[in-house]
Structure 1
Amino acid sequence: MPRPSSRISGIVPSGKDGWEVHTAAWARREAGEDIIMLSVGDHDFDTPSQTIEACVAAVRGSNHHYTPLQGLPRLRNAMAVASSACTGVETTPDQVIATPGGQAALYAAVQAVLDQGDHAVVVAPYYATYPNTFSAAGATFTVVETPAEGGFQPRADMIRAALRPNTRAILINTPNNPTGAVYSKEHLEELAKLCREHDLWLLSDEVYWTLGGGEHISPRSLPGMAERTLVINSMSKSHGMTGWRMGWLTGPAEMISLLINLNLVTTYGLPAFISIACAEALENRYGVREIAERYAARRTIFIEAVRSMNDVVIRGSEGGMYVMLDVSAIEPDDEKFAWAFLDNEKVGVMPGSSFGEAAAGHIRISLCQPEPVLQEAALRLRRFVSAYRREAA
């Protein structure tokens, strides 16, 4: 075949992608092994029935045609209301654009603020797609780690040291995937000051905002930040709708107007029946409180189950759908630890280093399993740690 473009060839470099343990655990479970899957952040329960019925009604109501590029008016209005609640800034429909999932909102944000050869800073630990999203834009990036011993809070001095003359943007994620860290107002204010001083865009991934362990603070609400912040959001986690692929981006109206042109040449709008169901789910907050309460209970139960485990330290883990455990005192190689845990106790977890060097020596535990399963996994972890320590000795 003719040569593909360097742009598409360079999005995902060849080699390991960090998901090898998860892929193996999944394959072994599909082959019939009794594997506990704690490696993926997908709900173990269905989308709320009210949302499903709203979609069925929309399909039967002949909502099968093209929609506006920026999203149905009703959907954008509902997203604006949700953004007002999420960011603490009154948001109008012309400040949001609907996208097919949070990843598409992230892609749109990166395309909007970076030209070929521009530079960005990615705060780690980070969601796995972040680096390759910048690669797709032809941009370079520097990863800035957050200290585990500081609860994975971002450090403005470390970010400042990574800035270059062509730096245009900083990307953060709070509540954080994979660590569950909820960024404090103090650290966000320092970051906002840095953005104002250097005229930078701040890309803020806030898809876990309803699942925080405390008050969610969006950097968009800080002085001088509404005009330079793009907030990525999604219905996947908050409303139990991972497979529906619906998200949105919030930002200055002038930028959102430009992004409508990006939808023109990518999605050409979104399905009407899904848009209507999502609007109803946003308007009525279907499942939001129940999902948040479910994960809060699971987080508490699992953390209590591992809290007294020798040489296992809980880091971050205030919010989101994950618990991050420091296992470096037992085995510094987190990937080796994860493989051995899978082989010996049939539990699949994610090695922390899959999300950046800041999380090296950690494992990420997904809370997307019922409480009895999480308790069983904690028992297996305790047994595994004790046996591993004896073998090492």
Structure 2
Amino acid sequence: MPKPSARISGIIPSGKDGWEVHFAAMTRKEAGEPIIMLSVGDHDFDTPSETIEACVTAVRGGYHHYTQLPGIPRLRQAMAKASTRCTGVETNADQIIATPGGQLALYAAVQATLDKGDHAVVVAPYYATYPGTFRAAEADFTVVEARAEDGFQPRAEDIEAALRPNTKAILINTPNNPTGAVYSRESLQALADLCIRRDLWLLSDEVYWTLAEGHHVSPRALPGMAERTLVINSMSKSHGMTGWRIGWLTGPESMISVLISLNLVTTYGLTDFVSRAATEALENDYGVKVIADIYNGRRTLFLDAVSGLNNIVVRGSEGGMYVMLDVSAIEHDDEKFAWGLLDAEKVAVMPGSSFGDAAKGHVRISLCQPDAILLDAATRLRRFASSYRSKAA
């Protein structure tokens, strides 16, 4: 039979990537084991009821048809208002294109800025889909690790050392998944200076911004950056809408107008009734403060519960839905540590090395569980770490 294209076959190369711990834990949980799942970032609560009712009303109102390619006007206006708040730069609807989820916004940004054979720099630790998204564009990329000892803040000099003559873009993620690090204004200014000096695009994944509002800084707000920054955003985390697949890309009007052609040949627009529910959610901030308060409270709760645990150090963890723990003084092999924790205490976490070399020796803790379960998991982690040290002694 005919073979699939090399382009598609090469998006996700074969081999171990650390997600085996998560998949094994899921299988065991489905088989009846009482596994505490702290390995995935999906809310443990439903979409706010107001958003659900808005969707039901739209379905019953007959909104079942094709929509405009860049998104219905009212949705784009609501997204522009959210982007103004997120980035600190006044944004209009013509600077917005709506997409089915933040991943498609990322895909659009990469397709828009890189041709086949072009080069990009990806700052790690990174979200798991970043490498495959560049491979789908047949673009080369170099991973530059933000260092654990810096609290996972990126160093512009390390990024500049990785640039090539054909480098077109840099991709960052703040607040960061997996580390929870919120990039400082100083770190971002150094990146902005580099982008301006070398005439580069900056792709900024800011989907967790509402979980760090008040100390989140968007590079789009820095002098000279609005014309060269594409901001990836999503309603999944901020509005509790992971399965609704609503995201958007913010950028210069000239870039957004070109990107409408990509929607023509990929999504052909968004679902009408979902778009209208999303519009109401954006206009009314359904769930935003409640969700942010939940995760800020859980972060404090969990970090307090593991505070003082010998030989475990917190890295990053200022925002988002995750806590990153350095366990290298106990076990340098983070995957081995994660498997051991799963087997001994029935707690599933992600090995840090799944997200890049900088996170080796760390484990990522998802905060997508109620307080009582997080406290139970912290107790189990404390017990496991103590016994692990005694075994290694």
State the TM-score, normalized to the length of structure 1.
0.99
- Give the letter for the 1:60 counterpart: R
- Give the letter for the 1:340 counterpart: G
Give distance in 2, aligned partners of 1:215 and 1:390: 40
1:145-224 correspondence to structure 2 within 5 Å: 145-212=145-212, 214-224=214-224
Moved over 2 A (4+): none
- Give the letter for the 2:134 counterpart: F
Give distance in 2, aligned partners of 1:16 and 1:62: 47
Alpha-carbon spacing, 1:90–1:184, altered in 2? closer, same or farther (3 Å): same
Which residue is equivalent to 1:344? 344
- Give the letter for the 1:126 counterpart: Y
Which residue is equivalent to 1:390? 390
Gaps of 5+ in 2: none
Two-structure CA RMSD over aligned residues (Å): 0.6
- Give the letter for the 1:315 counterpart: R
1:222-233 correspondence to structure 2 within 5 Å: 222-233=222-233
Q: Offset of 1:17 from its aligned partner?
A: 3.0
Which residue is equivalent to 2:239? 239
Would the aligned equivalents of 1:11 and 1:133 in 2 still touch at CA under 8 Å?
A: yes
Q: Structure 1 residue 139 and structure 2 residue 131: aligned?
A: no
- Give the letter for the 1:169 counterpart: A
Would the aligned equivalents of 1:328 and 1:362 in 2 still touch at CA under 8 Å?
A: yes
Deviations 1:15-50 (A, max 9, x none): 123311000001100000000000000000000000
User: Aligned with 2:120: secondary structure?
Assistant: strand
Which residue is equivalent to 2:314? 314
User: Aligned with 2:122: secondary structure?
Assistant: strand
Deviations 1:88-116 (A, max 9, x none): 00000000000000000000000000000
Would the aligned equivalents of 1:214 and 1:319 in 2 still touch at CA under 8 Å?
A: no
User: Aligned with 2:42: secondary structure?
Assistant: coil
Deviations 1:257-285 (A, max 9, x none): 00000000000011000000000000000
Give distance in 1, aligned partners of 2:272 and 2:16: 38
Give distance in 2, aligned partners of 1:8 and 1:322: 31
Deviations 1:315-358 (A, max 9, x none): 00000000000000000000000000000000000000000000
User: Aligned with 2:267: secondary structure?
Assistant: coil
State the TM-score, normalized to the length of structure 2.
0.99
User: Aligned with 2:227: secondary structure?
Assistant: helix
Q: Offset of 1:227 from its aligned partner?
A: 0.3
Give distance in 2, aligned partners of 1:207 and 1:392: 40
Deviations 1:183-216 (A, max 9, x none): 0000000000000000000000000000017511
1:75-154 correspondence to structure 2 within 5 Å: 75-154=75-154
Q: Structure 1 residue 6 and structure 2 residue 11: aligned?
A: no
Give distance in 2, aligned partners of 1:62 and 1:34: 44
Deviations 1:147-199 (A, max 9, x none): 10110000000000000000000000000000000000000000000000000
Which residue is equivalent to 2:58? 58
Q: Structure 1 residue 270 and structure 2 residue 278: aligned?
A: no
Give distance in 2, aligned partners of 1:382 and 1:52: 40
User: Aligned with 1:279: secondary structure?
Assistant: helix
Which residue is equivalent to 1:326? 326
Give distance in 1, aligned partners of 2:337 and 2:382: 13
1:362-373 correspondence to structure 2 within 5 Å: 362-373=362-373
Deviations 1:40-65 (A, max 9, x none): 00000000000000000000000000
Deviations 1:207-253 (A, max 9, x none): 00000175111000000000000000000000000000000000000
Give distance in 1, aligned partners of 2:144 and 2:71: 35
- Give the letter for the 1:194 counterpart: L
Alpha-carbon spacing, 1:213–1:339, altered in 2? closer, same or farther (3 Å): farther
Which residue is equivalent to 2:295? 295
Give distance in 2, aligned partners of 1:19 and 1:130: 15
User: Aligned with 1:365: secondary structure?
Assistant: strand
Would the aligned equivalents of 1:182 and 1:213 in 2 still touch at CA under 8 Å?
A: no
Give distance in 2, aligned partners of 1:78 and 1:353: 38
Identity %: 76
Give distance in 2, aligned partners of 1:322 and 1:212: 12
Would the aligned equivalents of 1:50 and 1:286 in 2 still touch at CA under 8 Å?
A: yes
Give distance in 2, aligned partners of 1:213 and 1:340: 36
Would the aligned equivalents of 1:214 and 1:318 in 2 still touch at CA under 8 Å?
A: no
How many residue pairs are counted as aligned between the two chains?
393
Q: Offset of 1:3 from its aligned partner?
A: 1.8
Comparing 212-221 and 286-295, the one that deviates more: 212-221
Which residue is equivalent to 1:68? 68
User: Aligned with 2:69: secondary structure?
Assistant: coil
Alpha-carbon spacing, 1:77–1:171, altered in 2? closer, same or farther (3 Å): same
Would the aligned equivalents of 1:120 and 1:139 in 2 still touch at CA under 8 Å?
A: yes
User: Aligned with 1:97: secondary structure?
Assistant: strand
User: Aligned with 1:227: secondary structure?
Assistant: coil
Would the aligned equivalents of 1:175 and 1:181 in 2 still touch at CA under 8 Å?
A: yes
Give distance in 2, aligned partners of 1:357 and 1:311: 20
